[in-house]
Amino acid sequence: MFKLIYKPGEKVLFKPLSAAVYYVADDKKINERLSGFEKKFRITLSELQKKNILSKKNKQIAITNLKGKPESLILHKFKTDEKFNVDYFRNHLAGYIRDIKNDETQTLHIFIPGFELFKKFFNEEEYYYRSFLEGLSLGNYTFDKYKKEKDKTKNLTVFIYAENKKLVQSAIVKNTAVMEGIFFTKNLQNEPPSSLRPVELAESIKETLTRYGLKVTVFDEKEIKKRNMGALLAVGQGSNAKPRFIVIEYKPKVNSAKKIALVGKGVTFDTGGYCIKPWQGMLEMKADMSGAAVVAGTMLSAAISNLPVELLGVIPAAENMINGEAMRPSDIVKTASGKTIEVGHTDAEGRMILADALDYASKQKPDEIIDFATLTGACVVALGLNVAGLFTKNDKLADDLYINGMKTYDRVWRLPMWDDYHKENESKIADVNNDGGRWGGAITAAKFLENFVDKKIPWAHLDIAGPAIANELTNYNKDFMTGFGVRLMYEYLSDHSKNESKK
């Protein structure tokens, strides 16, 4: 693992133990571009090296043992065709830094291609630069807290060479803020459930965020009862670790035109309750609090960057376990809103704790509410592992989240919120049933949540059950929980504050 120190590149000076990555476009000018590469590094590619880099089967070659040059040089070829996307350089550099993590490299030089080639993919030159930084940062992440022998941390100075040094510097500053939030999110997600029960989740969030000037208030079980949050209590009553309700407040140094509430599901471990999961289904349930982690991480990044938008974070935290007090199928639970829930399935607990959280958020009268939850396996079946389900009746909110998802590659896809689906959540003996049945499970879960949101407030629900979990689809999500959602929300909030300032 490296401690990465980013700097805008100026005069190229290769010190001992240095490496470099140089990108060349595979187009009609590739031979001209290769000549430019040779001139920059004062080397001559051998006939074999030229044939290898020009081969359709190869994307890159490694050049070593260059005297007075970087001791390791990667020449990488790319195409800006229909297969290219904004994740390309992020994913490549994440893989690269994973590959060299055990090397003794002390200096890394990244030569970024001119922005002109990428205008149709990136709306902003600065974010184009950030995608390179994000790849290195995300690929460098590790979680070795519980290993006897920790990964050795070595300094690695990274020089970024690009057309606009000012934008590179700005990209470095923003990347630092975003990565602080993402790494905090990932650290929470990767904690074992024995070490991160509701009280520890609350303590960790409070300890970290208060250092950055955010106000964190934690309701204990007594206060939760006082506020009649019966759904949160019901989910948590099967555990010796009692629930907590966490409220985070971020007020910018400048006046904010709007207040946005971020709500995150905080189930620190989910057995499924009496409708118990198979053991294979429990292996990833330490990350069933990913929604809570995304809220905390986003607010941390916002505070570090002094984003000019007021934020309210709301996190219901509980552990869905089994004992003699655990909630049963067919129980009736009264929520803080006064509405009652028939427990049709004890493994549909996330929507229950969100019911009390969304009601609380609504009562604070924010201008928008966005919630995050690893809510349904049905959403993973529908969209796969790398896309979140987006549910809202507000077209502007949907468009803004989609656009920023495509920008950051924290992608979302809108699914219907038609009222036809209300019927699936009906109960004959309560206001609503938490089991929406087999079909369209991600949609019926969202329609359940809708019952607890003030209809006057624009609201979006993000089901992150797929992309929150480690997967093999990218080089930066392979080994650990992903922190999905923080990049998306940081850009969404940044754009939101820019648009408000123009009014």
The catalytic residues are 277, 351
Alpha helices in 42-157 (DSSP H): 47-54, 88-99, 125-140
Pairing of strands 332-334, 340-342: antiparallel
Tell which residue, 198, 301, 187, has the closest CA to residue 250.
301
Question: Is the Cβ–Cβ distance between 395 and 286 less than 8 Å?
Answer: no
Q: Mark out the alpha helices in 338-440 (DSSP H runs).
A: 350-363, 377-383, 395-408
Residue with tokens 């700005």: 170
**Separation of alpha carbons 476 and 473, rounded Å:** 9
- C-alpha–C-alpha distance, residues 349 and 434, integer Å: 8
Dihedral pair phi/psi, residue 371, rounded to 5°: -115, 155
Q: How many Å apart are CA 491 and CA 188, to the nearest integer?
A: 22
- DSSP annotation string for 286-304: GGTTHHHHHHHHHHHHHHH
Please name every residue paired with 3 in a beta bridge, in sequence order, or none if there are none: 155
Structure tokens at 173: 């500053």
Spatial CA neighbour of 318 closest among 266, 240, 375, 372: 266
CA-CA distances (angstroms) from residue 387 to 181, 183, 231, 462, 485?
20, 20, 29, 10, 10
